[in-house]
């Protein structure tokens, strides 16, 4: 059974810092990995989707990498802004179905 | 930008009653999903729906649950004989392509409180 772990659980940084969020998974036979953002009281917003054949995806200040062999993905946020404050979730599909398994998320606060 | 809309935003129901949660997916999307998130817990997949039938469902999605696309726009989740542990945020999502190949677009959720 796939297990997804996200470290750290919470992070508070000053504006302008570059930061890295980590996601690890136990079953490396994945189809894809997706990073989401969740604002308080809101649904999930898809940030980046990495297929199993890819090593990274980039969108603006966000870069997500995937290392299947080690069971890890990182989300890199460059030049963080207060508007980046949210919970970031990692979700993995694997094991013969497209049912995603989510991590608990990293709660990020970027203070001015 | 097109959105997934969910109604109601908050539903309070007595234990044992039936509830129907409603969703309007993005109009040209073909795949529809329901998830739930119990307070403080992980987001959990419930069911995916394509071409008027369930394509995948999790262990959570037992006989108490059902989904329906009653017309060309709505997608509903029915929970029969609700239990206290059904209290959670329920999210609807839709995508243009198959789950995993296309990003899913989520609604803001319905907070279900069972008393």
pLDDT in tens, B17-55: 999 999 999 998 999 999 999 998 999 999 999 988 999
A102–B42 C-beta distance less than 8 A: yes
The answer to whether the CB atoms of A34 and B103 lie below 8 A apart is: yes
Which chain A residue shows the shortest CA-CA distance from B107? Answer: A43
Please tell me which residue of chain B has the smallest CA distance to A106.
B42
Give the residue with greater pLDDT, B49 vs A42. Answer: B49
pLDDT-derived band at A86 (thresholds 50, 70, 90) equals: very high
**Is B89's pLDDT higher than 90?**
yes
Confidence of residue A96 (pLDDT cuts 50, 70, 90): confident
DSSP B6-42: EE-SEEEE-TT--EEEEEE--TT--EEEEEEE-TTS-
Contact B91 A91 (CB under 8 A): no
Percent of chain B with pLDDT over 70: 97
Instruction: Check if B95 contacts A (Cβ < 8 Å).
Output: no
CA A47/CA A88 separation, integer angstroms: 9
Partner residue facing A103 (CB), from B4, B42, B93: B42
Tell me what the mean pLDDT of segment A87-103 comes to: 89
Pairing state between β B110-114 and B10-13:
parallel
Give me the phi and psi of A83, to 5 degrees please. Answer: -70, -10
What element of type H or E holds A86? strand A86-94
Average pLDDT, chain B: 93
Please give the pLDDT value at position A1. Answer: 85
Residue B79: the pLDDT is 97
Answer yes or no: are the C-beta atoms of A36 and A86 closer than 8 Å: no
Of B42, B56, B107, the CB nearest to A98: B56
Q: How many CB atoms lie within 10 A of CB B93?
A: 27
Q: Is the pLDDT of residue A64 over 80?
A: yes
């Amino acid at each position: 059974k796939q297990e997804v772990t996200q470290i750290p659980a919470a992070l508070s940084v000053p504006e302008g810092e570059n930061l890295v969020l980590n996601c690890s998974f136990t079953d490396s036979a994945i189809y894809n990995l997706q990073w989401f953002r969740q604002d308080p009281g809101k649904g999930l917003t898809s940030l980046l989707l990495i297929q199993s054949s890819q090593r990274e995806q980039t969108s603006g200040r966000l870069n997500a990498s995937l290392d299947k062999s080690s069971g890890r993905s990182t989300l890199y946020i460059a030049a963080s802004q207060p508007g980046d404050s949210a919970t970031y979730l990692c979700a993995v599909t694997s094991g013969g179905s497209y049912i995603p398994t989510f991590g608990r998320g990293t709660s990020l606060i970027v203070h001015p | 930008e097109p959105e997934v809309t969910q109604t109601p935003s908050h539903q309070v129901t007595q234990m044992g009653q039936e509830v129907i949660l409603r969703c309007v997916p993005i109009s040209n999307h073909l795949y529809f999903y329901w998830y739930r998130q119990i307070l403080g817990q992980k987001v959990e997949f419930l069911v995916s729906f394509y071409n008027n039938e369930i394509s995948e469902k999790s262990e959570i999605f037992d006989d108490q649950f059902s989904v329906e696309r009653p017309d060309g726009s709505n997608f509903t989740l029915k929970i029969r004989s609700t239990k206290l542990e059904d209290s959670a945020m329920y999210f609807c999502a839709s995508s243009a392509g198959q789950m995993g190949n296309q990003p899913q677009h989520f609604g803001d959720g319905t907070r279900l409180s069972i008393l």
